């Protein structure tokens, strides 16, 4: 390995080849530990190339020495796909130095950016041109656009704009043999062969390393407003979504749902973020959140006043029909931000509360009420003291269905057994309702065994054939995605 390390230093410079002595070295923990703290790896080296040519050269060197590579962006992933294993024989290839906004093309409604650009930087560059890049995540200040594309990130605007895949026009990718595919086309139509772009997006660094992307931009909406509404059932929330879609059409940019328990956790751990719930209380003494709270957002090409009027029509209809008990409409940007802060505070409140068995599942929107009712019943029958934290993206059928173990199974072998049994139960229900075990977080290491059990033999064979064709040496992120 000394020969490889010396070659990497000669290529990148001493300062850009970091050598951790132990898995626990604090200086390198941000490269070797995933965001949830579930996976603690140990890298042979952490390398930080500055451009696609250097990335390609690193890949060639590692392939020559039989060393596998773990590509890493902001390391904000939730399934352990961006950190090394414990062997001490993998190279972490950090893309953090690829940080240039190469071009903004207003006439083509597109932008080309390096993979290491933070999502917030991409959003800002679009805004400075008077345009919108609509991908929006709670981690946008630390996640990178390359990582967003490698995992096909979803977020809160999928209802209107689609996932990261729908927001990408072209890619620059380093292949497993160290060549560069320069496919940074800003085209909406290109039927010249296989859709290589779509193959790379969502492949989690197992088929190629994304070094840059050409992204789809949109005009900035002239008006925008947000509302919080309380519902007694998920069935009513679905009917509300249907009515909002019918009235607002493409103006409906977000529809989020939050159960009672996740909002109680926010009230307990982040009370300032929960103050916005006061507008949904029937009395000043009523502090318990509704069974389900829905966040709607409407964008308009006219004005804030127009957006508010359209949303007010939806709220009045929902109140008159009994779908909604209480509703509050944001009348300025501060109130809009407060409503979104409530939603985005849930993951941190969960983390503060304690260990959760987490699921990022997707089912058809119409199946959500049945799935939640049946999964809840099965879990509470089996573990009466378990607590279910359910929230997510109602508009696209993606729920974060998380389960806190009972105190008796909160650690050690009891927790391991609980997690295994809960996963089986939840995923059985998901599959029965025509769903997926990973809607937006990816597969990574966390769900790789489940992939082997839940995907069809035919689908797995096709995926393995693609992997073998593009990465026969298994150099890129082995042990992720495919069992």
pLDDT confidence band for 284 (50 / 70 / 90): low
Question: Cα(first)–Cα(last) distance of the chain, in Å?
Answer: 27
Quickly count: other Cβ atoms within 10 Å of residue 454's Cβ: 17
**Chain mean position to CA 322:** 34
The pLDDT value recorded for residue 135 is 97
Determine the Cα–Cα distance for residues 150 and 96; give it in Å rounded to an integer.
15
pLDDT confidence band for 223 (50 / 70 / 90): very high
Stretch 235-242: mean pLDDT: 97
Longest CA span, the chain? 74
This prediction has a pTM of 0.94
Determine the Cα–Cα distance for residues 136 and 123; give it in Å rounded to an integer.
9
On the question of pLDDT at 22 being above 80, the answer is no
Cβ-contact 228, 327 below 8 angstroms? yes
Tell me the Cα Rg of the chain. Answer: 23
On the question of pLDDT at 382 being above 70, the answer is yes
Strand order in the sheet with 387-393: 326-329, 223-231, 292-300, 252-259, 387-393, 398-404, 360-362
Helices 260-269 and 346-353 cross at an angle (nearest 10°) of 80
**Chain mean position to CA 121:** 17
Burial class of residue 173 (count of CB atoms within 10 Å of its CB; 0-12, 13-18, 19+): buried
Angle made by CA atoms 103, 153, 23, in degrees to the nearest 5: 100
Mean pLDDT of the chain: 95
On the question of pLDDT at 268 being above 70, the answer is yes
On the question of pLDDT at 21 being above 90, the answer is no
Determine the Cα–Cα distance for residues 68 and 53; give it in Å rounded to an integer.
18
pLDDT confidence band for 27 (50 / 70 / 90): confident
Q: What residues contact residue 93 under an 8 Å CB cut-off, 6+ apart? A: 47, 49, 55, 58, 59, 69, 70, 71, 72, 209
Cβ-contact 254, 159 below 8 angstroms? yes
pLDDT confidence band for 239 (50 / 70 / 90): very high
Bigger pLDDT: 139 vs 214: 214
Three-state secondary structure readout of the chain: CHHHHHHHHHHHCHHHEECCCCCCCHHHHHHHECCCCCCECCCCEEECCCCHHHHHHHHHHHHHCCCCEEEECCCCCCCCCCCCCCCCCCEEEECCCCCCEEEEEHHHCEEEEECCCEHHHHHHHHHHCCEECCCCCCCCCCCEHHHHHHCCCCCCCHHHHCCHHHHEEEEEEECCCCCEEEECCCCCCCCCCCCHHHHHCCCCCCCCEEEEEEEECEECCCEEEEEEEEECCHHHHHHHHHHHHHHHHHHEEEEEEEEHHHHHHHHHHCHHHHHHHHHHCCCCCCCCCCCEEEEEEEEECCCHHHHHHHHHHHHHHHHHHCCCCEEEECCCHHHHHHHHHHHHCHHHHHHHHCCCECCEEECCHHHHHHHHHHHHHHHHHHCCCCEEEEEEEHHHCEEEEEEECCHHHCCHHHHHHHHHHHHHHHHHHHHHCCCECECCCCCCCCCHHHHHHHCCHHHHHHHHHHHHHHCCCCCECCCCCCC
The tens digit of pLDDT for each residue in 87-115 reads 999 999 999 999 999 999 999 999 999 99
User: Counting every residue, how long is the chain?
Assistant: 483
Determine the Cα–Cα distance for residues 291 and 80; give it in Å rounded to an integer.
33
The tens digit of pLDDT for each residue in 444-480 reads 999 999 999 999 999 999 999 999 999 999 999 999 9
Stretch 368-397: mean pLDDT: 97
pLDDT confidence band for 25 (50 / 70 / 90): confident
Determine the Cα–Cα distance for residues 23 and 48; give it in Å rounded to an integer.
18
pLDDT confidence band for 285 (50 / 70 / 90): low
Q: What domains are defined for the chain?
A: 2-94 (3.30.43.10), 101-219 (3.30.465.10), 223-348 (3.30.70.2190), 354-441 (3.30.70.2740)
pLDDT confidence band for 266 (50 / 70 / 90): very high
The pLDDT value recorded for residue 138 is 87
The tens digit of pLDDT for each residue in 292-334 reads 999 999 998 888 888 899 999 999 999 999 999 999 999 899 9
The fraction of the chain above a pLDDT of 90, given in percent, is: 90
Bigger pLDDT: 284 vs 449: 449
The pLDDT value recorded for residue 53 is 98
The tens digit of pLDDT for each residue in 172-210 reads 999 999 999 999 999 999 999 999 999 999 999 999 999
Stretch 128-145: mean pLDDT: 95
The pLDDT value recorded for residue 95 is 98
Stretch 404-412: mean pLDDT: 91
The pLDDT value recorded for residue 279 is 86
């Amino acid at each position: 390995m000394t020969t490889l390390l010396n070659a990497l230093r000669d290529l990148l410079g001493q300062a850009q080849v970091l050598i951790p002595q132990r898995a626990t070295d604090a200086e390198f923990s941000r490269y070797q530990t995933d965001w949830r703290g579930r996976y603690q790896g140990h890298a042979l080296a952490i390398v930080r190339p500055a451009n696609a040519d250097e990335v390609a050269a690193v890949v060639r060197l590692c392939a020559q020495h039989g060393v596998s590579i773990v590509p890493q962006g902001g390391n904000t992933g939730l399934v352990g796909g961006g950190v090394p294993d414990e062997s001490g024989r993998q190279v972490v290839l950090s893309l953090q130095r690829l940080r240039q906004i190469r071009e903004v093309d207003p006439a083509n409604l597109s932008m080309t950016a390096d993979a290491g650009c933070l999502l917030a930087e991409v959003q800002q560059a679009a805004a400075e041109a008077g345009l919108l890049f609509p991908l929006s995540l709670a981690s946008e200040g630390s996640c990178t656009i390359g990582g967003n594309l490698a995992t096909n990130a979803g977020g809160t605007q999928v209802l209107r704009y689609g996932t990261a895949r729908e927001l990408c026009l072209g890619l620059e990718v380093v292949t497993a043999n160290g060549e560069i595919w320069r496919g940074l086309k800003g085209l909406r139509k290109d039927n010249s062969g296989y859709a290589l772009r779509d193959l790379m997006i969502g492949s989690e660094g197992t088929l190629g390393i994304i070094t840059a992307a050409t992204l789809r931009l949109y005009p900035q909406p002239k008006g925008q407003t947000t509302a919080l509404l309380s519902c007694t059932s998920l069935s009513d929330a679905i009917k509300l979504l249907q009515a909002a879609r019918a009235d607002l059409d493409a103006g409906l940019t977000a529809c989020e749902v939050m159960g009672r328990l996740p909002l109680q956790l926010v009230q307990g751990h982040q009370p300032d973020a929960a103050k916005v719930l006061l507008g949904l209380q029937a009395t000043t003494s009523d502090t318990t959140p509704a069974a389900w709270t829905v966040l709607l957002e409407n964008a308009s090409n006219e004005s804030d006043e127009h957006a508010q009027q359209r949303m007010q029509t939806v709220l009045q209809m929902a109140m008159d029909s009994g779908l909604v008990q209480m509703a509050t409409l944001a009348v300025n940007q501060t109130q809009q931000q407060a409503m979104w802060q409530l939603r985005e505070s849930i993951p941190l409140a969960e983390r503060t509360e304690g260990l959760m068995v987490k699921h990022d599942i997707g089912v058809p929107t119409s199946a959500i009420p049945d799935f939640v009712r049946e999964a809840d019943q099965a879990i509470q029958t089996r573990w009466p003291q378990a607590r279910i934290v359910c929230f997510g993206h109602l508009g696209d059928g993606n729920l974060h269905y998380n389960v806190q173990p009972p105190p008796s199974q909160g650690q050690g072998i009891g927790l391991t057994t609980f997690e295994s049994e809960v996963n089986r139960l939840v995923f059985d229900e998901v599959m029965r309702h025509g769903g997926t075990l990973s809607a937006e977080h990816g597969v990574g290491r966390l769900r790789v065994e489940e992939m082997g059990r839940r995907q069809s033999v035919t689908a797995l064979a096709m995926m393995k054939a693609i992997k073998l064709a593009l990465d026969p040496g298994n150099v890129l992120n082995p042990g992720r995605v495919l069992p």
